[in-house]
Amino acid sequence: MSSNSVKLLSGNSHPELAEKIAKVLGLSLAKIGVYQYSNKETSVTIGESIRDEDVYIIQTGTGEQEINDFLMELLIMIHACRTASARRITAVIPNFPYARQDKKDKSRAPITAKLIANLLETAGCDHVITMDLHASQIQGFFHIPVDNLYAEPSVLNYIRKNTDIANTILVSPDAGGAKRVASIADKLDLNFALIHKERQKANEVSRMVLVGDVRGKSCLLVDDMADTCGTLVKASDMLLDNGAKEVIAVVTHGIFSGSAREKLKNSRLSRIVCTNTVPVDLDLEIFDQIDISPTLAEAIRRLHNGESVSYLFTHAPV
């Protein structure tokens, strides 16, 4: 029988995370050259045989200039592995790009998340591993299995270790995230509050209403992503104005685009914590990071060995 061993491939989007996953798995990354031609087309050279191997390609959705480049890289790498007779190709996409364009919210709006799902399948992807999808319904856009992992167990560990739990209240910055926050609040046996916001345009927040009592409490703002950080900063201001002692923000995907850095610098947040699903370039004192590479590595290991992944939904491997 063939060896059918694991091959880990990394694109250019997040080599540090790929290295970490490889280290946890005790493997080395496959030799691969992903470059850009001078005409800006992407070139992929796979430096070793992957015939009949179980291939995992790690590429995350990130980069204000390069997000589409990284996406094309991923598609071309998948296609290259497919034409090179890989046995199974799994795309490991910690932060799924275009996840927020998942509905036809106005006439003729593109459902780009669905398009991306189709493109991945067309390129030849057999399986997708991702983390904290903006809307878990995106799983339904695929005709192939999608493992949507949760950063929650790692986040819980972080909260237990690094915050004063007794006097904490969890806050969801919008109604959409209420479920996520309620689940964390249940596990920590804490109360939770909710901020209701009215959005008129993408990346802009207009009015906010707080539901719940936060006086004298240390607030944990939990969300799936922080992009321009308009929401987080406004929410933290609002919580402090309503008598909160301090505000800590915990997000899964720290995209921090546009003027996020300045906003955070001038904000009254006492801490901002995100996972390393995307590379973060924030040199702020209040910034802290949670490493989720063990979760991704364990998912890869379990997937390769045909074991159940659901253990990871509630437990964070070390």
Residues at the contact surface with another protein, assessed by CB under 8 A? 12-13, 31, 33-49, 63-73, 75-77, 79-80, 83, 97-98, 100-101, 104, 106-112, 114-115, 118-119, 121-123, 202-203, 227-228, 255, 257-258
Q: Which of 25, 34, 29 is nearest to 304 (CA)?
A: 25
3-state DSSP assignment of residue 83: helix
Please, what is the minimum distance in Å from the beta carbon of residue 242 to another protein?
28
Location of structure tokens 């540090």: 16
Q: How many angstroms separate the CA atoms of 109 and 100, rounded?
A: 12
Q: Which two tokens stand for residue 125?
A: 């992807």
Residue 254: which residues within 8 A CB-CB, separation 6 or more? Answer: 225, 226, 272, 274, 275, 277, 278, 280, 282, 289
CB 225 within 8 A of CB 134: yes
Please, what is the minimum distance in Å from the beta carbon of residue 92 to another protein?
18
Cβ-based nearer residue to another protein, 203 or 266: 203
Q: Which of 181, 250, 248 is nearest to 212 (CA)?
A: 181
DSSP letter assigned to residue 201:
B
Please, what is the minimum distance in Å from the beta carbon of residue 133 to another protein?
15
Cβ-based nearer residue to another protein, 204 or 241: 204
Cβ-based nearer residue to another protein, 114 or 180: 114
3-state DSSP assignment of residue 104: coil
Location of structure tokens 């969801």: 172
Please, what is the minimum distance in Å from the beta carbon of residue 72 to another protein?
4
Cβ-based nearer residue to another protein, 37 or 164: 37
Cβ-based nearer residue to another protein, 133 or 239: 133
Check the CA dihedral 280-54-298-252 and report its sign. positive
Please, what is the minimum distance in Å from the beta carbon of residue 44 to another protein?
4
Cβ-based nearer residue to another protein, 167 or 259: 259
Cβ-based nearer residue to another protein, 106 or 215: 106
Burial class of residue 188, CB neighbours in 10 A (0-12, 13-18, 19+): middle
Please, what is the minimum distance in Å from the beta carbon of residue 247 to another protein?
23
Please, what is the minimum distance in Å from the beta carbon of residue 256 to another protein?
9
Q: Which two tokens stand for residue 229?
A: 């950080």
CB 166 within 8 A of CB 191: no
Q: Which two tokens stand for residue 52?
A: 């009949």
Cβ-based nearer residue to another protein, 67 or 156: 67
Please, what is the minimum distance in Å from the beta carbon of residue 154 to another protein?
23
